Amino acid sequence: MTRPLVPLLLTALLAIALPARAQDAAPESPEKEPPEKIVAGISRENIDITTSFDGSEIIIYGAVKRQAPIPADDPLDVVVAVAGPSEAVTVRHKERKLGVWVNTGRVDIGAAPNFYVIASTRPLHLILTPQQDQVHRISVPLVMRSFAGPLEVEDAVPYTEALVRLRQNSGYYRQDNGAVRLVENTLFRADVRLPSNLIEGAYSARIFLLRGGEVLDTFRAPIEVRKVGLERWLYRLALEYPFVYGIMSLAIAIAAGWGASAAFRQFRRN
């Protein structure tokens, strides 16, 4: 009685296994590309800081690749954000008490770029929704990362606003509305000016393609800023051999003072 059951059991097992193997072997559906995509480039990926460095300019250019005709409802916009290396920042609030300035509060920001420029086709608040800004962290307040450690103050907003204001006044943070030129909703170009007081490190350029307040596609390009020549030698010497750097600086100061004194005595004799 058991022999006739064996073929039936094998048939049932095959019927269960074959559909499962067919599902495992089925190819995954490819991800759907966005209807409009960025194809971009950058004029300079490496910027050298020398003793005569007085700033630089990079050109970010590109085109919009499409799989369908240009939509006629919402206009197309492009945002370019160039950011420098991020670092932890402590913002302190000082008050004058009994004739002495004392710290009355502090906020430790986890990471904030030391340089940040936003260039766009139109003002940012007109082309980007707050929800998309939260996701992609494009605006200046959102590019700064979360606070480091517990807050010692009730409201941290005045501290972050003070940091942004100070760096804007120094030229480190900038928002250039209308600096991106868009031609025929296809070709775009942005000229970004870099100041002379850059620090070396890994910078990045992010490009965002927007329509109707939504980000359709993004593109990222790295930019390397480094010191070269005598500037780099002195920078590395100060970091790796601070004692030698200090002795050398002291010797140069003494020699310069002695030379100036000798020249002044010679001038008085004549």
* Residue at 186: amino acid letter: T
Task: Of 169, 168, 62, 180, give the one whose Cα is nearest residue 121.
Answer: 180
Alpha helices in the chain (DSSP H): 5-25, 124-127, 130-136, 140-143, 157-169, 229-240, 242-269
> What is the pLDDT tens value at each position of the chain, 270 positions in all?
444 544 444 444 434 444 444 444 444 545 667 778 999 999 988 888 877 778 889 999 999 998 878 877 788 999 999 999 998 888 888 888 877 888 778 888 888 899 999 999 999 999 999 999 999 999 988 888 766 566 777 777 888 888 889 998 988 999 999 999 999 889 999 999 988 888 888 999 999 999 999 999 999 999 998 877 666 667 676 777 788 778 888 888 888 888 888 787 777 776
Closest CA to 200 of 43, 53, 29: 53
Strand partners, 215: 210
- Domains of the chain (ranges; CATH) run 36-85+111-227 (2.60.40.3880), 233-263 (no CATH)
Q: Which of the 8 DSSP states describes residue 30?
A: P
CA neighbor of 173 nearest in space, from 140, 202, 203, 222: 140
pLDDT of 14 reads 39
179 phi and psi angles, rounded to 5 deg: -80, -15
Q: What angle do CA 163, 148, 91 make, to 5 degrees?
A: 25
Amino acid at 245: Y
Please give the Cα distance from 246 to 257 (Å, whole number). Answer: 16
Task: Give the chain's end-to-end CA distance (angstroms, integer).
Answer: 132
pTM: 0.71
Rounded distance between C-alpha atoms, residue 93 and residue 98, angstroms: 16
Q: Which of 63, 36, 29, 54 is nearest to 193 (CA)?
A: 54
pLDDT at 23: 46
Residue 230 to residue 50: CA distance in whole angstroms: 7
Q: In whole angstroms, how far apart are CA 127 and each of 77, 130, 154, 205, 224?
A: 7, 10, 32, 19, 30
Tokens 């940091």 — which residue?
A: 163
Contact by Cβ (8 Å): 173, 167: yes
Are the beta carbons of 216 and 41 closer than 8 angstroms? no
